Chain A
Amino acid sequence: GENVEQHPSTLSVQEGDSAVIKCTYSDSASNYFPWYKQELGKRPQLIIDIRSNVGEKKDQRIAVTLNKTAKHFSLHITETQPEDSAVYFCAASMTNFGNEKLTFGTGTRLTIIP
């Protein structure tokens, strides 16, 4: 089955700096790669995703890049703000018309230092 590794497990950055979280996956058939953000005491929520036919996707201060050959994808957060502090999870899935199964990484706790 799919295996997703995520690094680093913790990350502290100064407010205004950039943060990068990296994930690798094992199953070359995976074609959908979402990122979830979990704030303290809350449920995980989707913040951005990318499909295997795209190399990069941006949404304001957040971007995700995908390298299919190397089987890794990364989350980039620019101009970090205190509200970016949370646990971030990457995931991989092979969408198969109803048989989606999301395999998650182990999470990164991001702390933004004011």
Chain B
Amino acid sequence: DVKVTQSSRYLVKRTGEKVFLECVQDMDHENMFWYRQDPGLGLRLIYFSYDVKMKEKGDIPEGYSVSREKKERFSLILESASTNQTSMYLCASISPDVTEAFFGQGTRLTVV
């Protein structure tokens, strides 16, 4: 079974803090993604990566950056957290030949 693990299930951060969300997958997948899930808005793509040190902007990259130093790890960084970044964040990895997305358990981030 593919396992995608996010470092935290719940996080509470203060406005202006730098926040790191970590995601690790154990199936040697090249493609990894960060989505944000909000009620009524579905899953919106923030950033994705096709390979180590590669990154591509998704649909809503503003206020976020990413890091992929190793194939199995994809980090989402909120440079200066704001209250409108309070949300559920989902990491996913996708195998090119399978195309199925395997999601992490999600991190519910609250910015106060």
Contact = CB atoms under 8 A, between A and B. Distances in A.
With most chain B CB atoms within 10 A of its CB, the pick from A36, A105, A106 is A106
Nearest to B51: A98
A101 B42 contact: no
Contacts of A43: 90, 103-106
Given A43-B90, A43-B106, A97 B43 contact: no
Given A104-B42, A105-B42, A107-B42, A34 B99 contact: yes
Contacts of A101: 33, 45, 48, 58
With most chain A CB atoms within 10 A of its CB, the pick from B45, B92, B101 is B101
B81 interface: no
Interface string B13-45: 000000000000000001101010000111111
Contacts of A49: 99-100
A104 to B, nearest CB: 4
Contact of A44 (B31, B58, B99, B103): B103
With most chain A CB atoms within 10 A of its CB, the pick from B58, B90, B94, B105 is B94
Interface string B38-77: 0011111100101000000011000000000000000000
A111 interface: no
A100 B56 CA distance: 12
Contacts of B44: 104
Interface of B: 30-31, 33, 35, 40-45, 48, 50, 58-59, 90, 92, 94, 96, 99-101, 103-106
